[in-house]
Amino acid sequence: MKIRTFIICDDIRSEIGGKHSLIGVYKDRIIFPSSMEQKNNWPKAIKIGFYVEVEIDKKLPASFVFKRIESNDESEILKGDINISKDSKIIRMTLLHPAFIFKKSGVMRFIFEFYDKTGKKICTVSPEIDFNIEEMSSEQIKKL
């Protein structure tokens, strides 16, 4: 299995015809605006969405666990069942988190673990990009 698409955004809306609208798409970093009084005031929480497409190459997974890794600390974000047809070649997931907590600035990685019907792990995959979590003043953000 391989992650084909991994997008982090502010919100995901389901549209007519099976389409999705991704609002506020992040590139490779998430920037928190902060004043001098707010600087280094962690944790910070925001609503966040993940749009993910995973190519299936062999065994169909029955469930998944989505995790993040910060400073070698691994923690579960979401988990759930996967209901797809036997002919499917791609798993599409829209994962919304109402108050995703960022513990500190730095690098964050994400991984997916996929399991079969018996609960045996099939594989672990991750996006090929790490995300930088940063804070900047309004003046710094305007210069980007």
Higher local confidence (pLDDT), 106 or 86? 106
pLDDT at 86: 83
Q: What is the mean pLDDT of residues 16-35?
A: 92
pLDDT at 140: 86
Do 62 and 81 touch, CB atoms closer than 8 A? yes
pLDDT at 141: 85
pTM exceeding the 0.85 threshold for the entire prediction: yes
- As a whole number of angstroms, the distance between CA 110 and CA 129 comes to 9
Domain count, the chain: 1
CATH of residue 43: 2.60.40.1930
The two structure tokens encoding residue 13: 């809306």
Q: How many CA atoms lie within 13 A of 47 on its CB side?
A: 7
List pLDDT tens digits, range 43-86: 999 999 999 999 998 788 999 999 999 888 899 999 999 998 88
- As a whole number of angstroms, the distance between CA 127 and CA 141 comes to 26
Q: What is the mean pLDDT of residues 97-115?
A: 94
Task: Tell me which residue range forms the domain holding 60.
Answer: 2-142
Higher local confidence (pLDDT), 126 or 57? 126
The two structure tokens encoding residue 116: 């079969």
